[in-house]
Structure 1
Amino acid sequence: MADLSLKFSSSTALDTGSFRLLELPSDLSKAVESALLSIKGDPDEDAVLCTGDKTYTLRSIVLSNSVLVVTPSQEDDGNSSDVVIRDQIHEVLELVSSVPRLHKLDSLLRGREYEEGRDEEEDIEMADMGENRSSQHVRLSYVDARNVLQTSDSELDRYLRDRRVLDLDGELRPIVPSYLTTILELILTNLVSLSLSHDAVPADTLESALEGGHDVRRDVARQVMGWFGILANGMWKMDAQAIVREVGLGILRPHRDDPIAQDAFLARWRTAVGDTFAAHVSLALLAGNYLSSTDSTRDPPLTTLTYLPCSQLPTDPAARFGDLFRARARWRAEEIAPFLADVAVDAKERDRLLLKYTRAVPGEGGVWYSARGR
């Protein structure tokens, strides 16, 4: 083994704290080689590392032994064997897979919902406000969202799709749920009236029918079709189950404080989607968006549904469980699991949260979860 001379760098004071060790899982090595990693976060936020499709929390782990960062001497003439100590490291950064942090998007898009007739109203407002318009509203583009949100591109795209956010004229705008329901019902109606198979719909034909007969913008119709099916080579293959689910949510949404009888709800849902798609109607499609309650004192017993979407619950796990147990004192495992899908990265993380915040008690019908005592 060659002998090396070890010495401190003359710039030690400047180098101290300049280096970090990051422990990479094996599945991230290719992402590093391809330079597809980015670290995101404002100064007041914990940093996260994002790949093209995943988000990781950066966590500091203290090392029991210090690690020296050394480099060859800058004065090395090819014959010298000096090694210079540049810094000492006492911790390593560990990556932990986590859910993307997208809660800021809702506040950034508030007040920019898109609905039928809204464009005409805004044109009038812009004319009245003149140059002051720019001071009243800041548009959020897709690129802006990528820069400010702690999430990977794939997770952002999925979130925008799931939250039904349109990209109109370079601006992100959530579609008003009631208008989305109207568009979907029009799509189902036009498929029947035009004798089109939902597995192979000429996209231009459907767009023309929606625009000409119902004033639905073509770019809006195209994006809605993209959310609820596959667009390729000018043809649209509709995801019937996804559309039926969204129509069901549209019917249930007004019943946040006014429960609806389950049988009446299912009947309205089947009517709304028509005979062709009524077979797809199932409460399982709406898991994580409603509470059911049965009044056994009635004859026959009456089951009612209340709208409770997990997307509008707190993202902090402690607050999430607090709201869930205020809504209901006891939960079965299959009932509470859908309400934790967006705060737990996988089933293992979900079980850890249940262990931390709930108490599992065997009972009639299986295991029941109740709030853990303070």
Structure 2
Amino acid sequence: MRTLEEVQATLEIAKLKEEDLQKTVQCLSLGDNVSSDDYCLIELDDTLCHHIEAGQSLVIRGDTDEHAVLCSGDKTYDLKIAHTSNLLLFLPGCQTPEHLTNSQQSTHVLHAEIWGFCNSYWEVRKHRPRLKKLLKVLMENPYEGPALAGQQENTENTYTMDDLLETIQASEEEIKKHLQTIHACQINGCWRVLDSDYEMKLLGHVTQLVDSESWSFNKVPLQTSLEELGPLEPRLVSPSLQRHLQIRMNNCFSFPCREMIEHCLNCYGTHYIENGEVFYTLDEAKVCRATALMLLKNAVKFNLGEFQEVWQQSVPEGMSTRLDQLRSAALVDRTSRPETICLLRVEDLPEDTLERFNHLFTLREKWTEEDIIPYIEDLCGEKQTTGALLTKYARSSMQNGTKVFNSRRPIAT
């Protein structure tokens, strides 16, 4: 253990002036079990430090084949190992000058024991959540409606929120938000997405009821809707009653439970309260978009003019279809004759930025800015723009007076 006199003698040999240095001298010694494998360092910004100091937790998520991410309650961060040429020492209980009182600021020696060392640390950067896997795992067993009488519902490959937190590389808040986006709901404690045909059947029941009752799409009463549709379950009633109900409800052949009707209204509408009663305003854009996706899902390409005509005929009377309702869900080719439209959903594209661009340029060699932006804007990080992404991953040129973008590198087809 060095004394103050030994320290001063060392300074004199090194030709250093004591007044140029901090008054507190740290003398370091190696502990009995010093190791570089027992500890990892992580660099946290003020936000994450305050998060930890407030008693909250940070969780590292990722399977063995995934790059690990760090999640707080509402944000996701990328973890990257950064190496440093300076050896980093772990000194529990080490006191620096700012930790000392004024009375302790006089020149004296403090002794600290080294518990470990490291020449790398984890660097944390805000990152968009990796949510594509969420829909993938929920689609392992989509909900197709109540089980037939006498049959047991298939509950294999179903996930609770705890299961999703163990599986998905995103914070809990981000997962919950995306569950709403993909129209998932909780059934018997597990999160499920609805089979697309079943979901459209639910929506059809609602819109047919609105039509049969001559309601406004801006004022759909929840309670009446539940009374008319909710309690009815055709698999549990007699064939004669089913036939009666089919006539009464304009030949609807399937009736969902109350929870599913309310879930459908929440997915395709916005609720409000008037005179103590709950009403819903159906969202025209969402209803039209869902109808278009149903029409497009089984076609490779659709004649644009014919599609628009069929689409308008398929939506409830009083609603108007527009191509902007299909942003990031369908792609129009105006260079072909006749013009065509095909299904291209952003959620089906790769999550990695480079892979996304490569895939897009495989589908189409040159893109207009108007066409490509809906398929890349979700890739933007904090303070990043689609223009910056295009500059980095694409090359621009003029074609017939229109700016187009193509790949910066050859794309294998």
**Shorter-chain TM band:** 0.7 to 0.9
Q: Residues 299-323 of structure 1: CA distance to partner in whole angstroms, max 9, x if unpaired?
A: xxx3221112121222233333333
Q: Is 2:138–2:192's contact at 8 Å kept on the other side of the alignment? A: yes
Say whether 1:38 aligns with 2:79: no
CA–CA separation in structure 1 for the residues paired with 2:53 and 2:350 = 37
* Contact 1:50-1:151 at 8 Å conserved across structures: yes
Cα distance, 1:83 vs. partner? 1.9
Partner of 1:95: 124
Q: Which residue is 1:6 aligned to? A: 27
Q: In the superposition, relative to structure 1, how do residues 272 and 36 fare at CA in structure 2: closer, same or farther (>3 Å)?
A: farther
**Correspondences of 1:151-230 after superposition (within 5 Å):** 151-211=170-230, 212=232, 214-230=254-270
**Normalization by structure 1: what TM-score?**
0.81
Q: Distance in 2 between matches of 1:365 and 1:176?
A: 45
Is 1:283 the counterpart of 2:323? The answer is yes
Q: Identify if the C-alpha distance between structure 1 residues 365 and 221 changes in structure 2 by more than 3 Å, giving closer, same or farther.
A: farther
Structure 1's 221 and 310: CA in aligned 2 closer, same or farther, altered over 3 A?
A: same
Q: Deviations over 1:78-135 (max 9, x none)?
A: 999322223334334332222212333344334412224x6228x6367xxxxxx88x
DSSP 3-state at the match of 1:269: helix
Hey, what does 1:114 align to over in structure 2? 143
Of 269, 293, 308, the match for 2:333: 293
Q: Which amino acid aligns with 1:269?
A: W
**TM-fit CA distance, 1:36:** 4.8
Aligned-pair identity in percent equals 23
Moved over 6 A (4+): none
Compare 53-62 and 106-115 and name the one that shifted more: 106-115
Q: Give CA-to-partner distance per residue, 1:189-238, whole Å, 9 cap, x none.
A: 32233344444433222123233354112122222222233446662433
Name the CA distance, whole Å, in 1 between partners of 2:364 and 2:285.
29
For 2:78 and 2:185, locate their aligned partners in 1 and report how far apart those are by CA, in whole Å. Answer: 29
Q: 1:43 to 1:329 in 2, by over 3 A?
A: closer
**Structure 1 match to 2:303:** 261
DSSP-derived class of the 1:120 partner: coil
Q: Which residue of 2 aligns with 1:54?
A: 75
Partner of 2:296: 252
CA distance in 1, matches of 2:227, 2:376: 41
- Between the aligned partners of 1:102 and 1:241, the Cα distance in structure 2 is 24
- Counterpart code for 1:294: R
Whether the 8 Å CA contact 1:62–1:90 is kept in 2: the answer is yes
1:140 to partner: Cα distance: 1.7
| Structure 1, unpaired ranges of 5+ | 127-132
Q: In 1, Cα distance between the equivalents of 2:267 and 2:199?
A: 11
**Residue 296 and residue 373 in structure 1: after superposition, are their counterparts in 2 closer, same or farther (change >3 A)?**
closer
- Determine the structure 2 residue equivalent to 1:129: none
Offset, 1:60: 2.4
SS in 1 for 2:265: helix
Provide the aligned length of Structure 1 versus Structure 2: 352
AA of the residue aligned to 1:224? C
Residues 369/309 of structure 1: CA separation in 2 closer, same or farther (3 Å cut): same
1:310 aligned onto 2:346: yes
Question: CA 1:72–1:162 in 2, change beyond 3 Å: closer, same or farther?
Answer: closer
Deviation at 1:14, TM superposition (A): 4.3
Inter-partner Cα distance in structure 2 for 1:83 and 1:341: 51
Q: For 1:71 and 1:346, how far apart are their aligned partners in 2?
A: 35
CA RMSD in angstroms comes to 3.2
Where 1:314 maps in the other structure, the secondary structure is coil
Contact 2:130 2:168 (C-alpha < 8 Å) held by counterparts:
yes
The answer as to whether partners of 1:8 and 1:86 remain within 8 angstroms in 2 is: no
Superposed CA deviations along residues 335-356 of structure 1, whole A, max 9, x for unmatched, are 1111123444367264454344
CA contact (8 A) 2:367 2:404 kept: yes
SS of the aligned residue for 2:331 comes to strand
Q: Which residue of 2 aligns with 1:72?
A: 93
Task: Verify the 8 A CA contact 1:330 1:369 in the aligned structure 2.
Answer: yes
CA distance in 2, matches of 1:253, 1:296: 20
The 1-side partners of 2:58 and 2:288 are apart by: 38
